[in-house]
Structure 1
Amino acid sequence: MGKLYGLIGHPVGHSMSPIMHNCEFRELGFSDHYQAFDLSPEQLEDGVEAMKMLDVQGFNVTIPHKVAIMPLLDEVEQEALEIGAVNTVYKSGGKFIGTNTDGRGYLMSLLSVIGESSLQEKSILVIGAGGAARAVAVSICRSGVASLTIANRTIEKAEELSSVCSKYAKTDAISLSEAETTLSSFDIVINTTSIGMSPHLNHTPLKLDHMKTGTVLSDLIYNPLETQWLKEGKQRGAVVDNGVSMFVEQGALAFEKWTDVAPNRQRMRRTVLKELGGQK
């Protein structure tokens, strides 16, 4: 019998992680299985204990447990501590250790668009200051960037995240209105919010009136595959990228952490796109 891996969150019925991982297990000839577990916040502590009893070898963590799970683990890696969230747990020496593959997954997807060598020359704007923004901003700054600015509806949250990242790069925090008027000064603009996701498909996180041609617009949303914001950006001459690559990369990094085997990322991507009913 193979090893058991999983996902915990609430809800989890919409997640494509099980089909992505299980298809890859089958393609690689593994008898392992990935199972989604719907745990309410009240069930989280008992759920982690159940994972140990079931001898689960590793699992992903999604909303709303990415922060709450941290004190329930035996150890948490430094990058995850800085991000303030765990999205992947692996077993080592009988211990459950928390890590975060969201930020590195995003970074790998971004580099595939802009090229490995150019990030350190870029001025980046991150829209949002929540969990996804923390993962993206911390990982980009740790990698090295010319400057990174956080724009958020609540400026205090943007300032707090800017402070966390400032040890690695030049950072700033601004309002959304200021971001819109100074948009031409940024090379890459990243939406980490849920604005534009179903059912609010016509909403956009930031007006693009002052965007310069050739700006990279990156949206972490992957359903729909092309948000209204990306559509508008493409019409204005932007290079656009949706959240499929980040989703695949963060999953692939978790897969490697658990199995010590590198999955076929293109195959995982095709699996996700097939489920979404479209192509990038």
Structure 2
Amino acid sequence: MKKWYAVIGDPIAHSLSPYMHDAWFQESSIDASYIPVHLEPSELEDGFHALKKIGVSGFNVTLPHKQAIIPFLDGLDDTARTMNAVNTVVMKDGKSYGYNTDGDGFVQSLFALPVDREQPLLVIGAGGAARGIVHALHRAGFTRLTVTNRTFRRAEELAGEVGAEVMTISQAEAELGTFHTIVQTTSVGLSDNESLPLSVEWLKPGTVVADIVYNPLVTPLLKVASDKGCKTINGVGMFVHQGAIAFEKWTGKTPNQEAMIDSITQKLGGNNVNR
């Protein structure tokens, strides 16, 4: 019997997950399909039960449902529980289990460039994406983490969860040249937003600068960083690697992630800036 999977969110029409997972199913000779399902917040509970009733084998969860889905699930893995957010649901024997693959997907993407876990790393932002990434970096052995955010209290709270350092935005701007790696996790740079998350006056050549935004492929931060001689990485790798972890949980197979990064990059109309 053919299996099927889905991604739920609001909005959802823009999602590239169906393109990615359908390609991987074909590549892996798996008789399955993957569809987008638009669920508004008021429809989430009924939609979840409907998915179960009609036999979904698993699904991804995107905004704004990553936290709201939790009460309906039968179990959470440790990462999803720590994050208080779910982006992947596995169905097994009629039960639903939630996982969060976002942070680990980002860490995998970061290793496309030479990064040193013992060198200082700055995370800009303290929202849901930052939380997943900071915890994943901590688990991966990055020992010198610093968090900065416009709302300093939120940066303090996140840093305290993993024993990281914390800085105000102005402190981070002044000390930007001391960081080996800088990770931008906010929505700054999306669409037509041409602003920067902080001043990069003191950014040094050779610094690894990562932005989790993947559309546009080259955000204003990445453009400035590239012009300054930094090594840059966009959000395509994170998107693909987090999807691959979900794919493995559903099928037990590891898909071709490098080919998919190239394919998604071309689909978005550009060349991969990761170098």
Shorter chain as normaliser: what TM range?
over 0.9
Secondary structure of the residue that 1:114 maps to in structure 2?
A: coil
Number of the residue aligned with 1:59: 59
Separation in structure 1 between the aligned mates of residue 262 and residue 224 of structure 2, nearest angstrom: 26
The answer on 1:210 being equivalent to 2:202 is yes
Structure 1 segment 11-26 matched on structure 2, within 5 A: 11-26=11-26
Write the deviation string for residues 72-126 of structure 1: whole angstroms up to 9, x where unpaired: 11001111111221111112232110001101100111122125xx31x121111
- The aligned residue for residue 249 of structure 1 is 241
In structure 1, stretches of 5+ residues that fail to align are none
After TM superposition, what 4+ stretches of structure 1 lie above 6 angstroms from structure 2? Answer: none
What does residue 49 of structure 1 align with?
49
Match of 1:269? Answer: 261
Q: Deviations over 1:157-206 (max 9, x none)?
A: 1111111122xxxx122221111011112111000011011021x21112
SS of alignment partner, residue 113 of structure 1? coil
Query: Which residue matches 1:122?
Result: 119
For residues 162 and 228 of structure 2, the distance between their equivalents in structure 1, rounded to whole angstroms, comes to 31
| Alignment partners' CA distance in 2, 1:174 and 1:14 | 35
**Aligned mates of 1:48, 1:39 — CA distance in 2:** 9
Distance between the aligned counterparts of 1:247 and 1:264, measured in 2? 13
Aligned length: 272
- The one-letter amino acid of 1:89's match is V
Give the CA deviation at 1:61: 0.5
Q: CA deviation at 1:262?
A: 0.8
1:144 and 2:141 correspond: yes
Once the two structures are overlaid, the 10-residue window that deviates more, 270-279 or 245-254, is 270-279
* 1:279 and 2:259 correspond: no
CA distance in 2, matches of 1:8, 1:122: 38
Give the TM-score normalised by the residue count of structure 1: 0.94
After TM superposition, give the deviation of residue 267 of structure 1 in Å.
2.6
CA distance in 2, matches of 1:25, 1:274: 20
Question: Which of 182, 194, 198 matches 1:189?
Answer: 182
What percent identity do the matched residue pairs reach?
A: 44
1:235 aligns with 2:227: yes
Q: Any conservation in 2 of the 1:82–1:164 contact (CA below 8 Å)?
A: no
* 1:98 alignment counterpart: 98
Tell me, in whole angstroms, the C-alpha distance in 2 between the residues paired with 1:92 and 1:102: 22
**Structure 1 SS opposite 2:188:** coil
Q: Give how far 1:38 is off.
A: 0.6
Q: State how far apart, in whole Å, the 2-side matches of 1:241 and 1:271 are.
A: 16
Q: What amino acid maps onto 2:121 in structure 1?
A: I
Check if 1:74 corresponds to 2:70: no
1:34 aligns with 34
Asked whether the 8 Å contact 1:196–1:228 carries over to 2, the reply is yes
CA RMSD in angstroms comes to: 1.2
Structure 2 residue runs without a partner (length 5+): none
Distance of 1:267 and 1:238 partners within structure 2: 25
Aligned partners of 2:266 and 2:208: how far apart in 1? 25
